[in-house]
Amino acid sequence: MQKLVKDGVLYLRIRNLGEFYKISNLTKDLVTLEKAVSGVAPGQFGVFYYFSAQKYKVIVSSAKIT
């Protein structure tokens, strides 16, 4: 996962997705996304246990990336 800050806004590029996505609610969504992508939150973000291309859309949707 790559990070890009432009004009004070954080954008993330997730592996295999290519494009950058803007985080709309920086604190909450970034934590959610990072845990989802790394898969280090068992029991807390159950839908994100597995890191795969199939799950990216769920991650993007749940993390409120616009």
Q: What pLDDT digit, counting tens, does each position of 9-24 carry?
A: 566 665 555 555 555 5
Using 50, 70 and 90 to split pLDDT, how confident is the model at 46? very low
CA 61/CA 9 separation, integer angstroms? 19
Q: Is the pLDDT of residue 6 over 60?
A: yes
Residue-range domain boundaries for the chain: 24-66
Tell me the range of 6-10, 27-31, 42-46, 55-59 where mean pLDDT is highest. 6-10
DSSP 8-class letter at 63: T
Q: Where are the beta strands (DSSP E) in 7-59?
A: 9-13, 20-22
pLDDT for position 27: 54
Burial of 11 (C-beta count, 10 Å sphere; 0-12/13-18/19+): middle
User: What are the tens digits of pLDDT across the range 23-41?
Assistant: 555 555 555 555 555 443 3
